[in-house]
Amino acid sequence: MQKGQVSFFFILGILLLLSISLLYFLGGIKYTELRTKGHAVTTETAPGFLAVHKLIETCVDQTAKLAVFYLGFIGGDVSPDPWILQSPSAYFSYDQYYRIPYYVYEGRALMLSDEEIKRDILARYMNTKLPKCTNGFVTLPMFRVVEELPSTDVTLTDEEVLFSVTYPVQAFKGDTKENIGPQYVAHVRVRLLDILSIARAITLFAAEDDRLIRWDFMTDVTTRHYNITAYTERDKTLIYRIIDLNNTIDNEPYKYQFGVRVS
């Protein structure tokens, strides 16, 4: 019986050791998966502060989508306005809220460079609107939050717009303090790099002859799953609209539009 008891406890010990090793191994896999899940700060935030981190993530994603949407629909929504800075006649206006920027005005090309669009419109929108989205974290009254101003880098790839945001935040709950973030990434699935290239080609054509619409070029663009139109407005204005048929923002096909004022 003593030999049987020894054997039993020996086997039990081996099983316990294997169970502990298995739990440690699985925990390590889970920890690695969380660290590589897109937002690298997920595992850095204590469980009691995850609501603060989740609010910032949500606001980064929403603000990135709005930045890309407003760029395409009305040339952006930032101050100072880079279109106005380069020309007092920067917009064709339907009303005070709905204005479309001129990329060519009576033979003068006004389109910003890709770098200016990334820095002065998209990144500036994120930097100014993100704190308005988090709104002092008033929806989380159980925390006292101290935030710094965000800074953003924007990258354009063939398939998306990538926002890399640094947004340092400290959250306090009772006697506990937690550093939230500060690194966040938002992906907006829109072929903006290609759309800007199309718009730039039309701008060059219009700068040479603002009364000529290159229908052959526009027809070729449609083979890349875009819908592109040009239609006349008042004040000798043509409005070009490029629709990305492959991608949507909030379930609506992405629209990018600009004006040409003929001489």
Residue type, 151: S
| In a domain? residue 9 | yes
CA separation (Å) from 137 to 125, 170, 186? 19, 11, 20
| In a domain? residue 15 | yes
Does the CA dihedral 23-29-32-38 come out positive or negative? negative
| In a domain? residue 105 | no
| In a domain? residue 75 | no
| In a domain? residue 65 | no
| In a domain? residue 28 | yes
The residue segments making up the domain with residue 28 are: 1-36
Q: Mark out the alpha helices in the chain (DSSP H runs).
A: 2-35, 50-74, 82-86, 114-116, 124-134, 192-208, 215-222
pLDDT of 7 reads 54
Element holding 103 (H helix, E strand): strand 99-105
pLDDT of 44 reads 58
Indicate the number of domains in the chain.
1
pLDDT of 47 reads 80
| In a domain? residue 30 | yes
| In a domain? residue 7 | yes
Distance between CA atoms of residues 209 and 173, nearest Å:
64
- Residue spans of the chain under pLDDT 50: 1-6, 8-10, 12, 15-18, 20-43
